[in-house]
Every structure is written in C-alpha cells, then in structure tokens.
A and B are shown apart, each in its own frame.
Chain A
Amino acid sequence: MKRIISILLENESGALSRVVGLFAQRGYNIDTLTVAPTDDDTLSRLTLTTQGDDEMAEQMVKQLHKLIDTIKVVDLTVGAHIERELMLVKIKAVGNEVRNELKSCVEIFRGHVIDVTSSTYTVQLAGDSDKLDAFIEAVREIGVMEVVRSGVSGISRGDKFLRV
C-alpha cells in the first residue's frame, strides 16, 4: 500500500542525500519526494511516498530514524491525515469548443487556468494524488503537452503535530 512518510531533518548539507541514499541502499523505491525548510530554518520538512506493507514501513521508519540528521519520522498513513500535491499541466487548446470544454473541466476539478496562449492552456491543480491522476485522464484526449507535479506533502489531521 501507499505510504506517506514525513521527516523533520536538520537543514544541513548532505542530510537529504543520506535519506535518498538510504532508500537506494535498502532497496526501497521513492515514488515522490518533497523537501523545504520549515518556519524554523534550521529544520527541513521532507515528505516522501513509497509502497510497502506494515513490516516494510516499520523498518523504513526505523532506518530513517537511525540517520543522525533525522529528528522525527512518522508514517502519516497510519493515522488520519491530509495529503496535497500541486500540479501544473500544459494542455493543447485549439478551437472554441475545446477551450470551453477544458475550462469546464478545470472548474469541475477546482483548478485554475494560470497561463493562456492562442494554442495552449496552463492549468494549476492541487489535491490528493488520485484527483490529479483523474484530471490527467479527463483531459488526456485533448492533448497533454507537459505535466509537472510537486510530489505529495502531508500533515496529520486533528491536534497532532510534528515539531521539535
């Protein structure tokens, strides 16, 4: 099953490569990876998604925790959580009919057209990964030219939070 693993990491050079290296070394795949400093600029928040059963996920979390630069590690998929991903898509948009169809599709998915030329629309969309996949499917026949996805960011629901 899909796992969303969230990590608080010392914002130091080489820290990210240790996380990525660990996955390569232990034979786990990374499906998506996002990383950026937090409000405390000595800390980075890293979210990665991967596939694995409970045992594998437990081992991954333990291995990540063992890295000296990691401060906290959680498998968000264990509890209630919110996931969001940002996607930018450039789509071929020629002719009124197609352009109208695209606009309504973007509305249905609660996206925004953020750039327009006479032959293209660039659409911004945020949501969970399934929603982004569904949008791509919906507009695929019209002509998807380029897709840029940010990878998943995640946060737990309710009062729980991940902080030093």
Chain B
Amino acid sequence: MPTMMSGGEIVIRALKDAGVETVWGYPGGAALHIYDALFRQDDVHHLLVRHEQAAVHAADGFSRSTGKVGTVLVTSGPGATNAITGIATAYMDSVPMVVISGQVAMSKIGQDAFQETDMVGVSRPIVKHSFLVTRTEEIAETIAKAYYIASTGRPGPVVVDIPKDVTDPDYKIAYKWPANIKMRSYQPTDKGHRGQIRRAVKTLVEAKRPVIYTGGGIILDNAAEQLTQLAQKLNFPVTNTLMGLGGYPATDTQYLGMLGMHGTYEANTAMHHADVIFAVGARFDDRVTNDLEKFCPSATIIHVDVDPTSISKNINAHIPIVGTCSAVLKEMSIIADELEAEPDKEALANWWAQINQWRDDKGIYTANRYAPSGGDLIKPQDVIKTLYQVTDGQAFVTSDVGQHQMFAAQYYLFDKPRRWINSGGLGTMGFGLPAAMGVQLAFPDAPVACVTGEGSIQMCIQELSTCSQYKLPIKIISLNNSALGMVRQWQDMNYSSRYSQSLYEESLPDFVALAEAYGHVGMKVTRYEDLEAKMRECFELRDRVVFMDICVDQAEHVYPMQVPGGSMRDLWLSKTEKT
C-alpha cells in the first residue's frame, strides 16, 4: 500500500526527500495547510524569522556557507512580495535556493482575492525558474525539479507557488518521490570542449604577463582546490572578484588581492598590462572592468563559465569554454601534463618583479596607506584588521553593503572558500544579519561575524529576536560612522560634499541598549586603545549574540577606487593621489 498523503504533507515529505533539514519562513493564511503538516513531523525543522526578506537571506547564507540548497517557506501576497528582495539577491549571486510560496486557492486566482499576488509573474525576472502547481499530483515532481534546477548548471533561486486548495488536508493521494529528474528542455553543460581547453593551455604557457582572474563560480562549484593547484603549478598571479574571495588563499604570495572598483593597485594594474587573462567563473561585471573600451588593451581573453550567456556578454572572449569550473580546471591540469607544457620562466620572473614593484609602491598590504588610528579616532580599516587578528582569519564573515563591505573585502584575508558571504551583485543592505543566522545554524560552533554599519543593520535589525529564539550567537561588528558612508563618499567625490540625506545626525538608537532589549550583549567602542580588548571579549562570549557598536572615522573613504570612465589601472589611491 502506498502512503496516502495530503498536498501539505507531500510538500514537507518532498522537502525531506530532497535532503532538506531546515526551512526558514513565516506562516500565513495560504500556507497554513503546509504549516500544519510541518507541525506533525520531526524531519524538517523550521525557523521562524521576523520578516520574510530575512528568511530568504538566512537560507542564502546557509547555502553560501555550505553549498547546499537553501529553502524558504512563505505565504501568499505580502509574504511572497517581502521575499522578493531576498530572491533577487540570490539570483544576482547565483545562489541555489528553493522558495515555496503559498497562493490563494485556484478558484480565487485572478479575482484580486485577499493576499493574492501573481508570485510567478512578480518574481519572473529574478528567478532561474518558477512553477505554479495546479494539482496535488504535481507537487512531488515539481519540488524535485525545483531542487534539480536550483542546484545544477549556473545555480539560482527557483520559486514554487502552491495554491491553498492544492494542499487541502482532506484530499489525499499516493505519494511518490521521483527517483531521478530528466528534462528535455534543461540539460546543463558539464565538461568543457576539449579542443578549446587545449588551445587555452597552449595560450597560457606561452603567456609573458598572465593574470588569473576568478569569481564566484569557483566558490559555487567548489573548485578552489583545482584553481589553487593549477595556479601554483603555473606560478601565475591570481586576483579574485568580490564574489570570488577565498577562491584562492589570500595569504599566498601569488595572490594580488581583489580587483575592480575597490580592488588593489597591483591587481588592477596587472590586469591592465596583462597579455593573457584567464577568467574562470567570473563575468566581467561593470564593477570589475571600469570602461569596457579601455579594458585590458593587450590581453587575449580565455573565459571559462558554466553559463554561456556570461561569455562575450561584456568583453569578447578569444577562447570561450563553457563548462563547470571544476571540470574544466581538472581537464586543464591533465592536458598541461600531457603536453608537458612549461610556462615561460624568464618572462614570469620579469612579470613578478614588476608586480612586486607595484605592491611595494602602492599596495595596501605592504604598508598602511591611510592615517593611523589613535585615541578617539578609529579607522574602519583597523577594525577589520583587528577582527582578522582576533579571529585568526578563521571566522565566517557576512557583510552588509557599503564602505564596511569594501573594507572587509580588502582587509580580512580569506584563505578558504565559503567564508566570505556578501551581496555582491544586487548590493542588498540588510543582508548581513540574517545571512549570518543561516551560517551560524550550519556551523553552530564556528565564529560568525556580521560586518555591518549603522545604516545597513537597521534594515533587518528585527532579526535580533530570531537570534534569541534559536540561540544563534553571531557577532555583529558595526562600523558606526553616523552616515551612509559609501553614499557620503560619492557625495564627497562627485557632488562637492553635499550630503543629501546621508547623515543620521542625532537620530541613531542606543545600539547597546537595543541589543540588551533583545537579551543580547551590547558593547560600545569609542577609543582605539579599547578596540582589540573589547573585540576579544566579544568573541570569548561564545554562546551570546554580541553587538559591537564601534564609532569610526566618518571622513574616511575606501581606496583604491577606480576613476569613472577610465581603464582598470586608473585609480584614486587617496583623497589627493591618483595613478
């Protein structure tokens, strides 16, 4: 006898069969049959957030830190639309995720019913795919397809919208989980074209001034090890994008730092002068390239990506290779061995001498390029450096969006993938705190720091309550400069310091008292001399949420910064110095 189940029960059972252990969500009318089925079992655990946006960010943080598919459950209408910002965030950064939304009953769809929103329509441009389930019989297969689509090829969020009557507890059918999913319309490429890979290897070994430029694809595809091996075999310099940090060990000498708008001088300058650029799992985003017309004038571009639409979208690739980063890098190593190809040692020695010169001249890791902290003056860079020291470089760091994000990306050196979790593509303020919850849930004993600012943190601050409920002892490192720092920086640079709506004046809450109101520990740091001791104290409170409100220099800017309309190497290095 097959097990007879209602639609609500099938949803939960299908989640279990898809390997889901935790779901982040928020109940409401159209999802109540599903929530009731959830209550009557113990396999799938649910965490109740305080706003649906946070449910999606938490599932996102969980996914980015573990590589598993994140799962979200929300109700129709406002539940679904509140999830939209989170879904768009996941979509831009290719995070595998399944979002199940309740929908009004089939008979009410199109009637402007209470809490009705066309979720499939609203989410269409920001999902990898979406489904409206119209029959109970379709639930199991649809959920199986959703997980398959979300996690394969270029990953991304998939929405499954389920009308309430489809989960009716009184309508029971036999449950069957599809053993394997085949779709004639979806067959993602895995291995790259062997001929192209051969060409790429030959081009690489002949390079005089090569740069390996890698992005989030390396992280998503768990290809950091293959990348590191190949890069070290070739002795080529490596730079990572904001999304790719940790793809190559940041403390290794071959690492040039991040590239792009706030990338290092040596990474951006090396890119500009490169004769071969080997791009893997990166997409030549506008925050990397600066002006496309002036981008790397003498470079032959080899571009590996699992998504063909990323190749030659912004920058024409001379050697395009469609395939997963891990499969292609592995194949490259094999072919390099077969060809017994050796890179040009003399040319590389010259190239490294040049790069080291750039590092010594203007790199941010060879000397401090900003004024020292002391007394009441705390430089935001020094907060990140202190965080790095105190956590031994071993923390998971989530971030919000703004100056603090760039400082964290520059000064926290990630040696491992999946440790740096930020909203790179969409740039979603409010991401950091809920994402940290997802990470902490996955790694209950690991230090998890949310680097944020007093602006971003207030966009999802209600989640301090969720942290209490589920004992998620994250550490909030808030760089408080009483201003929207990055907005203020742009207003300094482009609007003659007219600070239109970027200052909080005297309106900020007492963050220490606020943290305490939620049952957490609050700490305020105003003097540089106290910073390290307080930070150590913070991380010693292993089972508590600690909110560190750190008053940093409002006038500080993030440098280097690419000059708009220039090439990659055209950089502001400080308020007065330009390359």
> Which A residues contact B (CB, under 8 angstroms)?
10, 13-14, 17-18, 21, 25, 55, 58-59, 62-63, 65-66, 68-71, 164
A71: chain B residues within 8 A (beta carbon):
184-185
Question: B residues engaging A (CB < 8 A)?
Answer: 120-121, 124-125, 128-130, 132, 149, 183-186, 307-309, 312-313, 316
CB <8 Å contact, B309 and A62 = yes
Q: How far is the CA of A88 from the CA of B177 in the complex (A)?
A: 52
> With A59-B309, A66-B309 given, is the CB distance from A17 to B185 under 8 Å?
no
Top 6 nearest A-B pairs by Cβ distance? A68-B129, A62-B309, A71-B185, A62-B308, A25-B125, A68-B186
* Docked CA distance A92–B128 (Å): 51
Q: Contact partner of A68 among B120, B149, B309, CB < 8 A? A: B149
Partner pick for A65 among B120, B125, B132, B308, CB 8 A cutoff:
B308
B308 CB contacts on chain A under 8 angstroms: 62, 65-66
> Which chain A residue lies CB-closest to B134?
A13
Residues of B within 8 A of A66 (CB): 307-309
In the complex, A14 Cα to B159 Cα: how many Å? Answer: 13
The complex places the Cα of A63 from the Cα of B132 at a distance, in Å, of 22
Residues in B whose Cβ lies below 8 Å from that of A59? 309, 312-313
Listed A/B pairs (8) with beta-carbon separation below 8 Å: A13-B132, A14-B130, A14-B132, A21-B125, A55-B316, A59-B309, A68-B186, A70-B185
User: In the assembled complex, how far is the CB of residue A148 from the closest CB belonging to chain B, in whole angstroms?
Assistant: 28
Task: Kindly identify which residue among A14, A62, A70 contacts B120, using a CB–CB cutoff of 8 Å.
Answer: A14
Minimum CB distance partner of A15 in chain B: B185
Knowing A14-B132, A17-B124, A25-B125 touch, does A63 contact B309 (C-beta < 8 A)?
Answer: yes
- With A14-B132, A55-B312, A58-B312: A69-B124 Cβ-Cβ less than 8 Å: no
Closest to B309 in A: A62
A18 to B316, CA, bound (A): 27
Check B185–A10 contact: CB distance below 8 A. yes
Q: Which residue of B lies closest to A60 (CB)?
A: B309
A14 to B128, CA, bound (A): 14
CA distance A79 to B327 in the complex (A): 33
- Measured CB to CB, the closest approach of chain B to A88, in angstroms, equals 32
List residues of chain B with CB within 8 A of the CB of A58: 312
In whole angstroms, how far apart are the Cα atoms of A43 and B165 in the complex? 28
Name 7 extra pairs, CB < 8 A, besides A21-B124, A68-B183. Answer: A14-B130, A59-B312, A62-B309, A66-B307, A68-B129, A68-B149, A71-B185
Q: Which residues of A contact B121 (CB under 8 A)?
A: 17
Q: How far is the CA of A40 from the CA of B473 in the complex (A)?
A: 57
Closest chain A residue to B158, Cβ basis: A68
Which residues of the partner chain A approach B125 to less than 8 Å between Cβ atoms?
21, 25
Q: Give min CB distance, A19 to chain B, whole Å.
A: 11
Task: Report chain B residues within 8 Å CB of A14.
Answer: 120, 130, 132
Query: In the complex, are the beta carbons of A68 and B312 less than 8 A apart?
Result: no
Chain A residue numbers with a CB within 8 Å of B120 are 14
Given A62-B308, A62-B309, A68:B184 Cβ within 8 A: no
With most chain A CB atoms within 10 A of its CB, the pick from B121, B125, B128 is B125
Q: What's the Cα separation between A62 and B125 when bound, in Å?
A: 16
Q: Which residue of B lies closest to A8 (CB)?
A: B185
Find the B residue at minimum CB distance from A164.
B184
**B129 contact set on A, CB distance < 8 A:** 68
- Which residues from chain A contact B183 at a C-beta distance below 8 Å? 68
Q: Which residue of B lies closest to A68 (CB)?
A: B129
B185 closest partner in A (C-beta): A71
CA distance A139 to B124 in the complex (A): 44
Neighbouring B residues of A10 by C-beta, 8 Å: 185
Closest to B307 in A: A66
Report Cα–Cα, A61/B185, bound state, in Å. 15
Q: What B residues does A164 contact at CB under 8 A?
A: 184
Bound state CA distance, A70 and B183, in angstroms?
Answer: 11
CB distance from B33 to the nearest CB of A (A): 23
* Bound: A120/B283 CA distance, A: 58
Contact A68 B124 (CB under 8 A): no
CB-CB < 8 A to B132: which residues of A?
Answer: 13-14
Q: Which residue of B lies closest to A25 (CB)?
A: B125
Q: Looking at the complex, which one of B124, B186, B312 makes contact with A18 (CB distance below 8 Å)?
A: B124
Considering the complex, give the chain A residue whose CB is closest to the CB of B149: A68
In the bound complex, CA of A17 to CA of B125 (Å): 11
Q: How far is the CA of A164 from the CA of B130 in the complex (A)?
A: 23
Kindly report which residue of chain B lies nearest to residue A59, judged by CB atoms. B313
Q: Which of A18, A21, A63 has the most CB of B within 10 A?
A: A18
Task: Give the residue name and chain of the B residue nearest to A13 (CB).
Answer: B132
- Known contacts A10-B185, A17-B121, A164-B184; is-contact A68 B313 (Cβ 8 Å): no
How close is B222's CB to chain A, nearest CB, in angstroms? 22
